[in-house]
Amino acid sequence: MSTQVETEQLRDRLEAALDEGKALDVRTLDVAHLTTITDWMIVASGRSDRHVKALADAVVEAGREAGWRPTGVEGTRQAEWVLVDFQDVVVHVMQPAMREFYNLEKLWDLPAAREAGHRR
C-alpha cells in the first residue's frame, strides 16, 4: 500500500515522461472518489503506433526508475491503445482516432473526477 505522497510523486513522474516524449493532449483525472481500482487516470495521445509504443515504454521506464513496477501492460502489439497499470495510477496512451471513439475523459467526467489541475 502506498501513501498519497508516493502516489502523487509517481503520477508526476509519469506525466513528465509523457511530456518528454511529446505526448499530445495529456489529461490527468482524479478518480479516487469514483472507483477503488485506481486513484489517478492519465490519458494521452501519440501520433502513430510507434509513438504510442514509445510513450508507453517511457512511462514503464519512469515508473521503474521511481521504484514502481507495473502490474500490467496491455496493447503494445498493435499500439492503438496501450494501458499501463501501476494500480494507484493507470495510464492510457492512445492513437487519436481510438481516443476520440472511446472518449475516456467524458466517461469519467463526473463531479468528483475533476482534472485536479494536472491538465497538460
Tens digits of residue pLDDT in 85-105 = 999 999 999 999 999 999 988
Q: Which residues lie closer than 8 Å to 37 by C-beta, 6 or more apart?
A: 90
Whether 119 is covered by a domain: the verdict is no
Determine contact, residues 90/42, Cβ cutoff 8 Å: yes
Domain that holds residue 66: 4-109
Which residues, listed in sequence order, are joined to residue 92 by a DSSP beta bridge?
Answer: 43, 83
Q: What is the pTM of this model?
A: 0.88
* Number of domains observed in the structure of the chain: 1
Whether 102 is covered by a domain: the verdict is yes
* Angle of the 49-65 helix axis to the 4-20 helix axis, nearest 10: 140
Tens digits of residue pLDDT in 65-92 = 999 999 999 999 999 999 999 999 999 9
46 Cα distance to chain centroid: 12
